[in-house]
Amino acid sequence: MIPQSKKYTYEEFLNITKDVERVEFIDGDIYYMAAPSPEHQAISFNIERKLGDYFEEKECWVYHAPLDVVLEDTKTGDKKNVQPDIMIICDKSKFTKANYSGVPNVIIEITSPSNAGHDNLTKLNLYQKFEIPEYWIVSPKNKTVSVYFYDKEVSAFIEPTIFAKDDVVKSSIFEDLEIGLMDIFK
């Protein structure tokens, strides 16, 4: 996942990538993404299955990549385009025919050797800027899940809770949402 050397406008990004399925646009950079590995897909499925069970009777829905999420800075009109691996969305009114133009309630990214820095730095900072309520970073290599919670009082993510080994991942915004790491990494 390598950004191009030229900075692009959002309109240029849309034109250049109109026939590309796995691509993101952050701060003028276009990021072309590789197809996920079988391990990544298995972890994603395990998480989605557990989330699907939890949200089955609730007013939120679970979505997965490739689904474009457009984040727009209301002050500048600057737009970003990301494709989180998994997201929980409780406000369906922000769907368009092409994407979701709003802030998901939870974003989950599963790292790979080629994108770990992108998820842990670039996206962490982006999601903090747009006040994503909860951001999970799943590391298949370390078999950990780091959960960041956005604290409106300090206008930032607070120090993450890191779950490992036999831990049970707990959401800070959805009461009783819990997923065992054994279920994620099996």
Domains by residue range for the chain, with CATH: 36-184 (3.90.1570.10)
The backbone torsions φ and ψ at residue 64, rounded to the nearest 5 degrees and listed phi first, read -140, 165
DSSP designation for 168: E
**Above pLDDT 70, what percent of the chain?**
97
What does pTM read for this prediction?
0.94
Q: For the chain, first and last CA: distance in Å?
A: 27
Task: Please report the pLDDT score of residue 6 as a whole number.
Answer: 82
Task: Please report the pLDDT score of residue 89 as a whole number.
Answer: 98
Q: Is the pLDDT of residue 171 over 70?
A: yes
- Of 69, 2, 11, nearest in space to 29 by CA: 2
Q: How many angstroms separate the Cα of 43 from the Cα of each of 37, 40, 55?
A: 10, 5, 18
User: Rounded mean pLDDT of 5-32?
Assistant: 92
